[in-house]
Amino acid sequence: MESVDVFDVPGKGRGLRTTKEVWAGDVLFAEPSFAAVVFDSMAEHVCHSCFRRQPKLHRCGQCKFAQYCNRTCQRQAWEEHKLECAAIKAYGKVPNENIRLAARILWRVDKEGGIVSDTQLISIDDLENHVSDMLPEDLKDLKMDVLHFLDYWPRYSKPHKVEDVSHVLGLINCNGFSMSDHRGLNAVGVGLFPNLCLINHDCWPNCTVILNNGNQTAVNTLFHTQRRIELRALGKISTGEELTVAYVDFLNVSSERQRQLKQQYFFDCTCKHCTEHIKDDLMMAAKEVDDNKPSEEEVKEVTEYSLKMLEKMEKARVEGDYHEVVKISRECLEKQEKVLADTHLYMLRVLSTASEVLSYLQFIDEAATYSRRMVEGYMKLYHPNNAALGMATMRAGVTHWQAGFIEVGHSMICKAYAIIMITHGPTHPITQDLEAMRRQTEMELRMFQQNEYVYHSMREAALKNQPMSMRPEPVEEGIKNLFRRK
Ligand SMILES: [Zn+2]
Ligand SMILES: [Zn+2]
Ligand SMILES: [Zn+2]
């Protein structure tokens, strides 16, 4: 590969570094999945080939499990599905996603070997599986999966030893990459990308990894692009510098990030932001106005109250009781506002859920206010080119636009566009959506500046003719963890 190579990082084992200087938005490498499957929970809702959510899917006539948009998607997926299709048919049921993915990986290894292209930097056999680090209860699950796997694995396929199967299942456990739909909003599947497994974590990384689902529909044309991940630089990186990505979201205090990393990836994070506890103070800060600070007891009380309320809100959201979510969040914010700083994590979490739910319920003005406060908090905490910041800014911009706050809406959409151009690149569907919105809001803004009255009456007429499109139901905000959490 021309711009990266593998090297030994003191204290961390293997890592990747650049072999040339790169700048924000540069692609260090693109990698197609070695294998990928849709989640069990999504199997009925997305195409098993292009991972798009579709209202109407066509079932594979053989296994009655796989579903596709059309013949093109089905044909495209056949190579990966062929052996699986026969195995599911013979097994009489569908094994879970881990087992389906492990089988796809092993079928491919059996056919092509552990390295399948000259850009693959490491063989499947040489990746770390961390099985020996697993907690007893997780190990028990893994052993169950091994047994089910052996049950499912067809007799005519090459037999594998228990260790080989545990190796692959272990890989999936610590390195299974969450794959989103093409709009990047929902996690719909899991895949294995060998080169990605070589990149170490940093809570304040110099790169980001993004999934581009390509354009399956243009298959057999010049414009066809494959589904792949891209490793993109977030800023200038000098030759020889180690490349890092964040495995977990930054918006947790360092001790919590370290706990998550230890639990899922079995290492102690010693990055600068963790060892120096950078921004921990902001994330837990009390409100301060002209040297007036709430008492320690007050802060403690509101913190504990917030945790309880967040739990209640989450429960109501999962149950679809959105009016309850709104009620709790209004109450909670009223208490928080007096005591907690605008960068406090618990306040930001309430604002995030509340703004999503409110815009779903079409309380657009209130949703806009909350989303703006959330984005302002995020901007003080996140790296300026963080993808999650870009996505949150985009959603807040759209909410403002829908609410008729065209000036703020347009400016937020422009900000989001600048971030997403770097993190997702110009060909990603999200970037293209943003580009279209940027042009549209720019035009509306110009109209607004020329004649506010005309703008508002035109907007009203447009809304009357075309009822505001319903947003999808609010889900947990975006996908912030790089690898799938169990
Ligand atoms: Zn499809
Ligand atoms: Zn099938
Ligand atoms: Zn860290």
Q: Any idea where the domains of the chain sit in the sequence? A: 1-33+193-250, 34-190, 272-465
- Arithmetic mean of pLDDT over the chain: 92
Distance CA 33, CA 29 (A): 13
**Residue 466 reports pLDDT greater than 70:** no
Ion ligand 2 nearby residues (CB, 5 A): 60, 62-63, 66, 85
> Residue 62 C-alpha to ligand 2 middle, in angstroms?
5
Distance CA 138, CA 224 (A): 41
Which has more confidence, 233 or 429?
Answer: 233
Over residues 441-463, the pLDDT tens digits come to: 999 999 999 988 888 888 887 77
Distance CA 7, CA 15 (A): 6
> Residue 385 C-alpha to ligand 3 middle, in angstroms?
18
> Residue 90 C-alpha to ligand 1 middle, in angstroms?
25
Contacts of 319 (CB under 8 A, 6+ apart): none
**Residue 225 reports pLDDT greater than 90:** no
> Residue 276 C-alpha to ligand 3 middle, in angstroms?
9
Give the number of whichever ligand sits closest to the CA of residue 48: 1
**Contact present, 274 and 287 (Cβ < 8 Å):** no
Binned at pLDDT 50, 70 and 90, residue 464 comes out as confident
> Residue 257 C-alpha to ligand 3 middle, in angstroms?
7
Q: Mean of the pLDDT values across residues 65-83?
A: 94
Give the number of whichever ligand sits closest to the CA of residue 227: 1
**Contact present, 233 and 259 (Cβ < 8 Å):** no
Between the alpha carbon of residue 114 and those of residues 35, 73, 106, 360, the distances in Å are 12, 26, 9, 46
Give the number of whichever ligand sits closest to the CA of residue 244: 3
Indicate the fold that domain 1-33+193-250 takes in CATH: Beta-clip-like (2.170.270)
Q: Which of 108-112, 293-297, 429-433, 480-484 has the highest mean pLDDT?
A: 108-112
Binned at pLDDT 50, 70 and 90, residue 219 comes out as low
Ion ligand 3 nearby residues (CB, 5 A): 203, 269, 271, 274
| Dihedral over Cα of 269, 272, 273, 279: its sign | positive
> Residue 268 C-alpha to ligand 3 middle, in angstroms?
8
Residue 158: the pLDDT is: 96
> Residue 50 C-alpha to ligand 1 middle, in angstroms?
4
Residue 460: the pLDDT is: 80
Indicate the fold that domain 272-465 takes in CATH: 1.25.40
Which has the minimum average pLDDT: 135-144, 188-197, 219-228? 219-228
Over residues 363-414, the pLDDT tens digits come to: 999 999 999 999 999 999 999 999 999 999 999 999 999 999 999 999 999 9
**Contact present, 361 and 259 (Cβ < 8 Å):** no
> Residue 76 C-alpha to ligand 1 middle, in angstroms?
9
Give the number of whichever ligand sits closest to the CA of residue 87: 2
**Residue 476 reports pLDDT greater than 60:** no
Binned at pLDDT 50, 70 and 90, residue 312 comes out as very high
Residue 442: the pLDDT is: 95
Distance CA 210, CA 178 (A): 10
**Residue 223 reports pLDDT greater than 80:** no
**Residue 221 reports pLDDT greater than 90:** no
Give the number of whichever ligand sits closest to the CA of residue 278: 3
**Residue 486 reports pLDDT greater than 60:** no
Distance CA 286, CA 293 (A): 7
> Residue 245 C-alpha to ligand 3 middle, in angstroms?
11
Give the number of whichever ligand sits closest to the CA of residue 86: 2
Distance CA 172, CA 138 (A): 13
Over residues 95-123, the pLDDT tens digits come to: 999 999 999 999 999 999 999 999 999 99
Binned at pLDDT 50, 70 and 90, residue 224 comes out as low
Q: Mean of the pLDDT values across residues 346-362?
A: 95
Give the number of whichever ligand sits closest to the CA of residue 74: 1
Residue 227: the pLDDT is: 85
Residue 291: the pLDDT is: 81
Binned at pLDDT 50, 70 and 90, residue 215 comes out as confident
**Residue 479 reports pLDDT greater than 80:** no
Residue 216: the pLDDT is: 62
**Residue 263 reports pLDDT greater than 80:** yes
Between the alpha carbon of residue 413 and those of residues 28, 234, 389, 390, 462, the distances in Å are 27, 19, 12, 9, 21
Which residue stretches of 70-177 are H helix? 71-91, 97-112, 136-152, 162-175
Q: Mean of the pLDDT values across residues 286-301?
A: 90
Distance CA 391, CA 233 (A): 17
> Residue 301 C-alpha to ligand 1 middle, in angstroms?
51
> Residue 147 C-alpha to ligand 2 middle, in angstroms?
23
> Residue 163 C-alpha to ligand 1 middle, in angstroms?
35
Residue 10: the pLDDT is: 87
> Residue 272 C-alpha to ligand 3 middle, in angstroms?
7
Q: What is residue 31's DSSP assignment?
A: E
Over residues 124-140, the pLDDT tens digits come to: 999 999 999 999 999 99
Q: Mean of the pLDDT values across residues 225-253?
A: 95
> Residue 237 C-alpha to ligand 3 middle, in angstroms?
19
> Residue 70 C-alpha to ligand 2 middle, in angstroms?
14
**Residue 258 reports pLDDT greater than 90:** yes
